[in-house]
Amino acid sequence: MQYTEIMVRYGELSTKGHNKKSFIDRLGSNVRHALHRFEQVKVHAQQDRLHVQLNGADYDEVMKHLKDVFGIQNFSPSIKVEKSFEAVAAAAEAMVKEQVTKPVTFKIETKRADHHFPIDTFEMNNRLGGDLLEKFPDKLKVDVHHPDLTIRVEIRLNGIFLSSETIKGAGGLPVGTAGKGMMMLSGGIDSPVAAYLGMKRGVSMEMVHFFSPPYTSPQALAKAKQLTEKLAKYSGSIKFIQVPFTEIQEAVKEKVPEGYLMTVQRRMMLRLATAIMEKRHGLAIFNGESLGQVASQTMESMMAIEDVTNYPVLRPVLSFDKTEIIKIAENIDTYDLSILPYEDCCTVFTPPSPKTKPSVKKARLYEQHLDVEGLIQRSLDGIKITEIHPGEDFLNQNEDVFAELL
């Protein structure tokens, strides 16, 4: 069956009061962005719903992309027919034929927006239901309370729309409606999940990645970019900010007692993230910390580290167990990448026994031996920003050569 449009229902958007219009506009533009490869598709974002006119595009493909757009509660592929009972009956028949393989219960649910149409809701339900029962006596049985199949008929001014499936959307809020956030992306399992969850709540995310060659490998950098690529589909593209960290790491290692290596390193990272955020007009810093997971993720440690910033540091996976995080990582397809065994800057120079309860006072004290300002400035001067789009490949530059072998 060739559907003619997809009807998209908003989620929480409907409750956003004054902001509703800007939310809907943003969702409309995000949907357009997600579907831009389908040239013939037209997107109309209206007050109550969003309509995707297919104009012949492959609806399976379109729906696959719609599933990644935050701010959508659910959607139904529907078919537009001319405004006559015969046309409605024919389309409904085709629908049942395609979708019903074993006997099911069903009901018809009609909505009539065009009150000039001669058949009213009640009559349409009855006539169409009767018609289908006659055509499929073995397959269909009426159950108006708990039907397996609901055929929705919407009588509008510009035609009649039939739909029967409702497909769950990604939920959340449209990316961009919450403002911009800076994600401290390592390369592990947690930070991509945290980024995903932040984006799901409407944050337009930019990735901040620290790299320290030769202590971290080029593959670790490529891996972080590839993880960013995986997340880019939720927002069209993502800015990847790579921050040189070698000099800082060496200085910290040289001057700071072992127990505070990590705390001071993290304070330096957070200073950098803060500076970058101010410059790029972000509103918050995000990271993938989960309370108690490792030594640096105790509340004492968070306190000692957050001492260097005045901005909110948000931790979307704070209260998640590792297994819960892994489950999401698998769903968003970042898990297999995250477990690639490349050293990143969180794993090099990890002291054998970091302080699980570092104090702010001591962290400040040890930093006095460092030229904090100079180190930060030199690192900021070396920043490189790239924009990453879905489908780009960073890990496997030899892929074309390999393709011939496979």
Partner 1 sequence: MIYFDNSATTKISPEVLTTYDTVSQKIWGNPSSLHNFGEEAWNLLEQARQQIAKLMGVKPSEIIFTSGGSEGDNWVIKGTALAKHRFGKHIITTSVEHAAVRNAMAQLEELGFEVTYLPVDKEGRINPADVKAALRPDTILVSIMAVNNEIGTIQPIKEVGEILKDYPNIHYMVDAVQAIGKGLDDLVFSDRVDFATFSGHKFHAPRGTGFVYAKSGRKLSPLIDGGGQERTMRSGTENTPGDVAMARAIRLVKENEAATVKNEQAIKERIYDHLKQFDHVRIFSGRNAGFAPHVLCFAIVGVRGETIVHAFEEQGIYISTTSACSSKKHAEAGTLAAMKVPENEATSAVRISLGDQNTLADADEFNQVLDQLYAGFQKIID
Does residue 377 touch partner 1 according to CB under 8 A?
Answer: no
Query: Of 54-62, 216-224, 233-241, 268-276, which part binds partner 1 (CB under 8 A)?
Result: 216-224
CB under 8 Å to 314, separation ≥6 — which residues?
A: 181, 198, 284, 285, 286, 287
At residue 52, the 3 state secondary structure works out as strand
Find out whether 288 is annotated in a ligand binding site.
yes
> Cis omega before residue 214 (within 30°)?
yes
Q: Which of 299, 339, 365, 385 binds partner 1 (CB under 8 A)?
A: 339
Site string for partner 1, 217-246 (x = CB under 8 A): xxx---------------------------
The tokens for 171 are 């939920």
Site string for partner 1, 318-337 (x = CB under 8 A): ------------x----xx-
DSSP, res 12: G
Q: How far is the CB of 338 from partner 1 (least distance, A)?
A: 11
The separation between the first and the last C-alpha atoms of the chain, rounded to the nearest angstrom, is 36
Burial class from Cβ neighbours inside 10 Å (0-12, 13-18, 19+) for residue 141 reads: middle
Phi, psi for residue 227 in degrees, rounded to 5 = -65, -40
Site string for partner 1, 281-300 (x = CB under 8 A): --------------------
Query: What are the percentages of helix, strand and coil residues in the chain, rounded to 5?
Result: 40, 20, 35
How do beta strands 313-314 and 203-211 pair? unpaired
Does residue 123 touch partner 1 according to CB under 8 A?
Answer: no
Q: How far is the CB of 323 from partner 1 (least distance, A)?
A: 9
Within positions 381 to 400, which residues make up the interface with partner 1, using CB under 8 A? 395-396, 398-399
What is d(CA 293, CA 211) in angstroms, rounded to the nearest whole number? 23
Does residue 101 touch partner 1 according to CB under 8 A?
Answer: no
Distances, alpha carbon 206 to alpha carbons 49, 87, 185, 344, in Å:
30, 50, 9, 19
Q: How far is the CB of 334 from partner 1 (least distance, A)?
A: 12
Q: How far is the CB of 9 from partner 1 (least distance, A)?
A: 29
Q: Which is nearer to partner 1, 189 or 264 (CB)?
A: 189
Q: Which amino acid is at 165?
A: E
Does residue 60 touch partner 1 according to CB under 8 A?
Answer: no
Find out whether 184 is annotated in a ligand binding site.
yes
Q: How far is the CB of 296 from partner 1 (least distance, A)?
A: 26
How do beta strands 179-184 and 284-286 pair? parallel
Q: How far is the CB of 336 from partner 1 (least distance, A)?
A: 5
Query: Of 63-71, 212-220, 246-254, 368-376, which part binds partner 1 (CB under 8 A)?
Result: 212-220
Does residue 347 touch partner 1 according to CB under 8 A?
Answer: no
Does residue 86 touch partner 1 according to CB under 8 A?
Answer: no
E strand map for 113-227: 140-142, 149-156, 159-163, 167-171, 179-184, 203-211
Question: Can you give the binding site for partner 1, defined by CB under 8 A?
Answer: 217-219, 330, 335-336, 339, 395-396, 398-399, 402, 405-406
* Residues that constitute the known binding site: 184-185, 209-210, 266, 288, 297
- Binding-site residue numbers for ATP are 184-185, 209-210, 266, 288, 297
